[in-house]
């Protein structure tokens, strides 16, 4: 079941609301603390109905496995798996040819299989980091290893039986078929735990069809991975001592197994909704995608709720909602303020636009959002030429207007500044800048001079006075 975010049609909807049935992306759901867990667990709530939603999985939003091949190769290169696979290969090579060595070697292989199987399971559950060597699930995993051994033995016995009954050619065909379906069987084994059910053709033959082309790609990759290091080693085997050959063979074998099991786990994760495999959101430890999510504050909640109303085209309702929010909470976030402003603009609510302008401009100026601030300032000025933001924002905007090739607008803004906030400590600087614009940009040295002389008269002891005198001489000359 795949749906897109109700608000962002190009994004996957990961959270579905039980009330309205809409799906939402992670940015659209409202994050609320469950309480008692110190913010560890969050409830993802519907931005419309405000009720907790349920997770429908990551299938759609995950990177497909063929786009992260490099990660599969590097998976064993972490301390835990690397030490394990090298150690096991080393002791296996040492034990070769010793009396009773085969028994110990079998146990070592079982340990490796156990670890790989846990890696598969963890990956399938969304944890893409290799398991620790002291992971308690490893000691509890005897059943899992046994299940796999049983599966392998059953497959082997069936092969021998087919060979004996139908001859060598039939056995080779059987071998090819088994190789093609073995990943399918292992995936079913992880989901189900029962080796006999994994060997049921109705199950293992259906799985590749449910996955589709992805299964074939995975299979080719596994095949390549199996033969590449093997043939490389075969080529050099003549030139290396037996022990080293044995050891390297073990290292490659273990490495291959880990990569292969990790890949199979990832395929299960990627296609979990097609395969009906349940994954808990809290188990996801995917370094690729999960970032730390905090509970939303009231302003963010309000912005998300407004975004929903906006998508529905309920502009009046959204404006009313924000007005009520403002009366109750007061605090605006930049996101909420921008949305409110956009709504007021659409509805042509000039009075409210001009009234909200200073709040938005403060937030934009604070974040140095130049283009947006100039745009909003222009909208407010269009609605009411007498409009004025707060002094801090107005001073910044005047500078930005000058910077962006609007000298007249800048002079108007500086004029507004000196008139509306005559006691502000930046007033002399505003005069000075206005004079500079008159002289440099508007080619009006007369006006510049009159402003500067007035400035010197009014603030003779100001820090800027020497600079002003210097500039005056420059014009006068």
Query: Is residue 25 near Zn ion by the rule CB under 5 A?
Result: yes
Residue 379 Cα to chain centre, angstroms: 35
**Smallest distance, Zn ion to C-beta of residue 269, A:** 22
Query: Is 17 or 190 the residue whose CB approaches Zn ion more closely?
Result: 17
Query: Is residue 45 near Zn ion by the rule CB under 5 A?
Result: no
Identify the CA nearest to 92 among candidates 260, 253, 228: 253
- From 19-27, 130-138, 140-148, 314-322, give the range in contact with Zn ion by CB under 5 A: 19-27
Query: Is 28 or 56 the residue whose CB approaches Zn ion more closely?
Result: 28
Query: Is 19 or 366 the residue whose CB approaches Zn ion more closely?
Result: 19
Query: Is residue 5 near Zn ion by the rule CB under 5 A?
Result: yes
Residue 82 · residue 112 · CB < 8 Å: no
Binding mask 250-269 for Zn ion (x = CB under 5 A): --------------------
Query: Is residue 8 near Zn ion by the rule CB under 5 A?
Result: yes
Q: How many residues does the chain have?
A: 477
Query: Is residue 270 near Zn ion by the rule CB under 5 A?
Result: no
**Smallest distance, Zn ion to C-beta of residue 23, A:** 9
**Smallest distance, Zn ion to C-beta of residue 267, A:** 27
Tokens of 369: 């959002």
DSSP 8-state class, residue 205:
T
Tokens of 407: 């000298």
Identify the CA nearest to 52 among candidates 95, 27, 77, 20: 20
Backbone torsion region of residue 240, taken as left when φ is above 0, otherwise alpha when ψ lies between -120 and 50, otherwise beta: beta
Query: Is residue 7 near Zn ion by the rule CB under 5 A?
Result: yes
- From 5-13, 34-42, 184-192, 295-303, give the range in contact with Zn ion by CB under 5 A: 5-13
Binding mask 49-88 for Zn ion (x = CB under 5 A): x---------------------------------------
Query: Is 47 or 195 the residue whose CB approaches Zn ion more closely?
Result: 47
Query: Is residue 303 near Zn ion by the rule CB under 5 A?
Result: no
- From 29-37, 38-46, 260-268, 362-370, give the range in contact with Zn ion by CB under 5 A: 38-46
Query: Is 61 or 424 the residue whose CB approaches Zn ion more closely?
Result: 61
In this chain, which of 23, 30, 46, 187 binds Zn ion, going by CB under 5 A?
46
Contacts 24+ apart (CB under 8 A), 150-154: 150/195, 151/185, 151/186, 151/189, 151/195, 151/198, 151/199, 154/195, 154/196, 154/199
Query: Is residue 48 near Zn ion by the rule CB under 5 A?
Result: yes
> CA-CA distance, 461 to 468, in Å (whole number)?
11
Query: Is 21 or 97 the residue whose CB approaches Zn ion more closely?
Result: 21
Phi then psi for residue 16, to 5 deg, are -115, 135
> CA-CA distance, 339 to 319, in Å (whole number)?
9
- From 28-36, 57-65, 187-195, 319-327, give the range in contact with Zn ion by CB under 5 A: 28-36
Phi then psi for residue 202, to 5 deg, are -60, -30
Tokens of 419: 């008139």
Between the alpha carbon of residue 200 and those of residues 32, 143, 192, 251, the distances in Å are 45, 19, 12, 33
Strands 30-33 and 54-55, how do they pair? unpaired
> CA-CA distance, 244 to 266, in Å (whole number)?
33
- From 47-55, 102-110, 122-130, 249-257, give the range in contact with Zn ion by CB under 5 A: 47-55
Phi then psi for residue 332, to 5 deg, are -105, 145
Query: Is residue 320 near Zn ion by the rule CB under 5 A?
Result: no
**Smallest distance, Zn ion to C-beta of residue 27, A:** 5
Query: Is residue 282 near Zn ion by the rule CB under 5 A?
Result: no
Query: Is residue 16 near Zn ion by the rule CB under 5 A?
Result: no
Tokens of 214: 């992805």
> CA-CA distance, 477 to 343, in Å (whole number)?
53
- Which parts of this chain interact with Zn ion (CB under 5 A)? 5, 7-8, 17, 19-20, 25, 28, 46, 48-49
């Amino acid at each position: 079941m795949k749906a897109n975010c109700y608000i962002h049609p190009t994004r996957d909807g990961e959270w579905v609301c039980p009330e309205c049935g809409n799906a939402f992306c992670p940015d659209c759901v409202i994050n609320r603390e469950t309480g008692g867990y110190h913010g560890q667990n969050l409830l993802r709530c519907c931005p419309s109905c405000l009720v907790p939603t349920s997770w429908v999985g990551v299938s759609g939003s995950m990177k497909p496995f063929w786009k992260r091949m490099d990660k599969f190769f590097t998976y064993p290169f972490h301390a835990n798996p690397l030490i394990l696979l090298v150690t096991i290969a080393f002791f296996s090579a040492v034990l070769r040819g010793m009396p009773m060595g085969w028994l110990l070697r079998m146990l070592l292989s079982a340990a490796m299989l156990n670890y790989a199987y846990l890696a598969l399971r963890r990956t399938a559950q969304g944890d893409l980091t290799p398991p620790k060597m002291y992971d308690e699930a490893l000691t509890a995993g005897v059943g899992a290893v046994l299940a796999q051994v049983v599966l392998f033995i059953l497959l082997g016995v069936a092969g021998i039986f087919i060979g004996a009954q139908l001859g060598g050619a039939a056995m080779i065909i059987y071998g090819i078929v088994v190789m093609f379906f073995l990943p399918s069987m292992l995936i079913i084994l992880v989901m189900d735990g029962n080796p006999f059910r994994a060997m049921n053709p109705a199950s293992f033959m259906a799985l590749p069809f449910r996955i589709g082309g992805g299964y074939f790609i995975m299979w080719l990759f596994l095949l390549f991975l199996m033969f590449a290091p093997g043939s490389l080693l075969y080529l050099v085997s003549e030139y290396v001592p037996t022990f080293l050959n044995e050891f390297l063979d073990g290292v490659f074998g273990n490495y291959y197994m880990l990569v292969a099991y990790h890949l199979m786990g990832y395929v299960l994760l990627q296609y979990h909704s097609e395969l009906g495999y349940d994954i808990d959101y809290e188990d996801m430890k995917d370094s690729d995608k999960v970032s730390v999510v905090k509970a939303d504050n009231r302003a963010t909640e309000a912005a998300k709720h407004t975004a929903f109303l906006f998508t529905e085209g309920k502009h009046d309702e959204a404006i009313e909602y924000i007005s009520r929010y403002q009366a109750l909470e007061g605090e605006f976030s930049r996101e909420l303020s921008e949305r409110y402003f956009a709504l007021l603009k659409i509805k042509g609510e000039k009075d409210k636009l001009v009234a909200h302008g200073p709040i938005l401009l403060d937030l934009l100026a604070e974040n140095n959002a130049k283009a947006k601030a100039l745009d909003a300032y222009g909208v407010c000025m269009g609605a009411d030429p007498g409009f004025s933001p707060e002094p801090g924002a107005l001073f910044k905007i005047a500078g930005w207007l000058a910077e962006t090739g609007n000298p007249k607008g800048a002079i108007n803004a500086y004029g507004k500044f000196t008139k509306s906030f005559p006691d502000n400590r930046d007033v002399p600087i505003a005069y000075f800048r206005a004079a500079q614009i008159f002289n440099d940009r508007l080619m009006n040295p007369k006006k510049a001079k009159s402003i500067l002389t007035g400035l010197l008269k009014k603030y003779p002891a100001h820090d800027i006075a020497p600079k002003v005198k210097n500039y005056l001489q420059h014009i006068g000359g």
